[in-house]
Amino acid sequence: MHRSRTHFTPTKLHLISEEGRATPRVYTHLVPLPPLDVRPGRDPRYPAGPAFLPRILSGEAFRSTSADLMLSSARQHGDLVHYRAFGRHIYQLNHPDLIRDFMTTDSIHHHRNVVMQRARTVLGNGLLTSEEPLHMRQRRLAQPAFHRDRIAGYGIVISDAAARMTSAWQPGTTRDLHADMLELALRIVGKCLFDLDHLDNIEAVASAVDSFMSFLPLAFLPFSQTIQRLPVPSMRRLQRGKLHLDTLINRMIAERRAEPADAPDRGDLLSMLLAATDPEDTAAASNQMSDRQIHDECVTILLAGHETTANALSFALYLLAVHPEAQQQLHTEAIAVLGPTRNPSAADYPNLPFATQVFAEAMRLYPPVWVTARSCISSYQIAGYTIPVGAALLAPQFAVHRDERFFPDPDRFDPSRFTPERKAALPRYAYFPFAGGGRQCIAEGLAWMEGALTLATIARVWRLTLPPNAPAKLAINPAISLRPRHGLPLHLDLRAI
């Protein structure tokens, strides 16, 4: 997002701890960042933070979601917040410079968080769950599949899928657009990853992914491996879902392996993963991925690319429905660029800046990955405080994206925050829906294009409004990703074009 900077103003920050230790660091920013606001806690060994018991007793812990609690902690206790939960030290980082160190230089002190570690039982050792050095090798192998030239070919996939979805919509009706966005995102990732076209195949993948998704939260429970072995019907059904998905993916890998070497390139991600070689990998027996590794990467990409994008699109549609003026502006842009009937391609994406701004602002207010979490594996210091081994470190997109130091009137939907000029003035880690550093989302380019082309396809033809009796505030569910809690029922009307 924030690639080009034209001039820089160095700012000097002093990180001051309770005992008055000061660690000067020089950072370069286009505009000076507000100084770090790190406050001492009652116990001088830790920075300030909310006490667990009062929150329980006041009922706050039960009334709010975990995302709301992180937001209120940041607002009350400053840029580095400490609390304990379930016997663990937790450090919440709320300042762009702390987050930059967390994502980049300090990442050598981190492992995937407990949730991701447990998810290995279902996701295997794909990009999301693996540690270094495996992660770096896989990243080198998979990166070309997400190269800009490669994903340009997926523009048509996105707009075809969006056009097919909307052709089933009936004017004058209300339907759950979150369900539609989930199916759309799955179709797109299914086509981009496996070149899957046939409805049967898509439905088979959809139902396998569905069972798999309902299985996933279980994988995150402390005794998940024991629970998964329980001989109860729900467990059997969920295991069948996993087996089903594994079988489908393995069959596709085997079919591709069996194709002659001179078979035409299908242009999908799977063919890139199968062909990828790692020139730096001279020590390994093969510099290609094993079938097992490709399987794990496919499961990871299917799951990582499905719900995140669907949620971002759903929140964007909700925001458009409650901001008719923005919806009108997007409609005008879509008509000007595409005319009344032409489906967009990747070449249209740069000409849809307002669609991109709407998508960006939706991910500011409702970041699909609402917190990035890690476990500390070697003790180090943040702002003069020692982070113990085993501590959890959190960089909460949900809280930082609503920080009024960077986003005045932070709860207001305002896509103009992401015009090129205003975007360039934002500190890099004040806005990080795709994280950053070595773990930055590998498919960020694809996700931006998917967002803009889908929103333009919909807004060109349809007018979206909230149905009567819709609650004034959208309920959110900060689960594995941030979702609308009760789907997204929206009323549909055709525009006169």
Interaction site with ligand HEM (CB under 6 A) = 127-128, 139, 189, 300-301, 304-305, 308-309, 312, 368-369, 372, 433-435, 439, 441-443, 446-447
Closest to ligand HEM by CB, 17 vs 138, is 138
Minimum distance, C-beta of residue 409 to ligand HEM, in the bound complex (Å): 23
Which residues have CB under 8 Å from 270's CB, separation 6+?
193, 194, 195, 252, 253, 256, 294, 298
How many angstroms from the chain centroid is the CA of residue 429? 15
Minimum distance, C-beta of residue 178 to ligand HEM, in the bound complex (Å): 14
Minimum distance, C-beta of residue 373 to ligand HEM, in the bound complex (Å): 7
Element (H, E) at 15: strand 9-16
Minimum distance, C-beta of residue 433 to ligand HEM, in the bound complex (Å): 5
> Distance between CA atoms of 114 and 376, rounded to whole angstroms?
11
> Distance between CA atoms of 93 and 2, rounded to whole angstroms?
21
* Residue with nearest beta carbon to ligand HEM: 305
> Distance between CA atoms of 67 and 398, rounded to whole angstroms?
6
> Distance between CA atoms of 37 and 92, rounded to whole angstroms?
13
CA dihedral sign, ordered 148, 480, 355, 188: positive
> Reduced to 3 DSSP states, what percent helix, strand and coil does the chain have, rounded to the nearest 5?
50, 15, 35
Closest to ligand HEM by CB, 110 vs 323, is 110
> Distance between CA atoms of 239 and 486, rounded to whole angstroms?
26
Closest to ligand HEM by CB, 36 vs 127, is 127
Element (H, E) at 91: strand 88-93
Closest to ligand HEM by CB, 134 vs 275, is 134
Asked if residues 306 and 185 have their Cβ atoms less than 8 Å apart, the reply is yes
Minimum distance, C-beta of residue 457 to ligand HEM, in the bound complex (Å): 16
Q: Please report where in the chains the tokens 């990853």 appear, as a residue.
A: 193
Minimum distance, C-beta of residue 9 to ligand HEM, in the bound complex (Å): 28
Closest to ligand HEM by CB, 13 vs 302, is 302
Minimum distance, C-beta of residue 226 to ligand HEM, in the bound complex (Å): 26
Closest to ligand HEM by CB, 17 vs 92, is 92
Q: Please report where in the chains the tokens 């405080």 appear, as a residue.
A: 385
Asked if residues 291 and 352 have their Cβ atoms less than 8 Å apart, the reply is no
Closest to ligand HEM by CB, 15 vs 320, is 320
